[in-house]
Chain A
Amino acid sequence: MAQLYERYSGIVYSVALRVLGDTGAAEDILQEIFMQLWRNPDGFDVSRGSLPGWLAVIARNRAIDSFRKRRPEVEMTEVVVGIGPDMVRGIEWNRTLDKIRGVLGSIPAPQRSALELSFFEGLTHTEIAEKTGEPLGTVKTRIRAGLLALRKAFNQ
């Protein structure tokens, strides 16, 4: 468990901190997720994707639930992420991060904003449209286009 913690606590904590903006609350999410992993080590199945991706998405879901003061909506074992490389090894990991941030920096600002509001704030497209004053269809299309831009960068 200590090794898993050393390797993956950073991504879990970072995502929770980004969503909640509060170090104490992010530490609580980190604790909750690793305790669940400890109690149920079989909760992660490799067919559900890469372990860091799975943990990152769970951290985001738990943080949003915590932010909205609601019970977890999705069980850990139900979370699926796409299969990707195990992006945790030194230089490869840094390159991956640079690439992701490069893509997010290069797409139009409204597209990036729609992506971040949807993922890190858990807003629905209706809530984003109300917040930004953009048409619903535009918001939907921006979110999809943003995800496709990330995919394209890693498929090249």
Chain B
Amino acid sequence: MNGHEQFADDLALYAMGTLEGDERLRVEGHLQECPACRVELEKFRGDVALLAFSASGPRPPARSRERLLAAIAKEPRRIETRASRPMAWWRAFEWAGAVAVVVMVLLLVRQNNDLQRRVADLQSSSARQQQQLLQAKQLVGTLTSADAEHYVLVAGKSPPQPQGRAIYVPSSGTLVFLASNLPQLPPQRIYELWLIPTKGTPIPAGLFRPNPQGSAAVVKPPLPAGIEAKTFAITVEPEAGSAAPTSQPIMVGSRG
């Protein structure tokens, strides 16, 4: 019993933001220690955003735009003005209008520049992040695509053997795992990858099934950062996965 099922419904409510009290605390406690449920929560949050979109339709009235732009223009800005010397009342009167106009022009120019800079910053930042996200998605898509063709290069005429390769960055907890020539499993069984730390018990690092050619990939499973790995191992587990290995490893890594 890995406890996932008992939290399945509550995760959906947690993503909705409507889980309260002890139930909320229990889910948060479980999420701390369950990478699989953290992944599921992220999926539910995506589902919730889709649900939000269902309300889409009415456009705000034009006055809302004017109101927003007026409020933005009124946002307090620190404008430093030099105190003027005391002067005769008639001269102060003459100058007051001119100073007011100059200050107003300066304020407008400055606000306009700020507005343009902020828009440019936002657009530039958004475009850069979207590009990075696109590249990351393409990379993950390539690694995990069901259509991806995997080629195993061997020396001479050796027949291909089951093989796994894990690339791990301990400081960020980032892991990419690729496997080839794995035998198929019955439907109720699944391969589970384990991070074997130098201290402590094995940490689940992802479930996977090979494609018909025996290839599989696990890309960036949720792992805590800073765990020093002694090695990685693969076991065969029940289809929902296990919190701790329940069978002997069928493959164990050695550091290359």
Contact = CB atoms under 8 A, between A and B. Distances in A.
B64 A14 contact: no
Interface residues of A, number: 67
Nearest to A50: B49
B121 interface: yes
Contact of A87 (B8, B43, B53): B53
Interface in A58-99: 59-61, 74, 80-84, 86-87, 96-97
Interface of B: 8-13, 15-20, 42-61, 63-65, 67-69, 71-72, 75, 115, 118-119, 121-123, 125-126, 129-130, 132-133
Contacts of A50: 49
Which of A23, A61, A97, A150 has the most chain B CB within a 10 Å cutoff? Answer: A150
| Majority SS at the chain A contact face | helix
B118 A41 contact: yes
Contacts of A154: 50
Interface in A18-72: 18, 23, 26-27, 30-31, 34-35, 38-39, 41, 46, 49-54, 56-57, 59-61
Given A39-B75, A123-B18, A151-B47, A27 B53 contact: no
B60 A38 contact: no
Interface of A: 1-5, 9-11, 13-15, 17-18, 23, 26-27, 30-31, 34-35, 38-39, 41, 46, 49-54, 56-57, 59-61, 74, 80-84, 86-87, 96-97, 100-101, 104, 115, 118-120, 122-125, 137, 140-141, 143-144, 146-148, 150-151, 154
B72 A118 contact: no
Contacts of B133: 46, 83
A8 to B, nearest CB: 11
Nearest to B122: A41
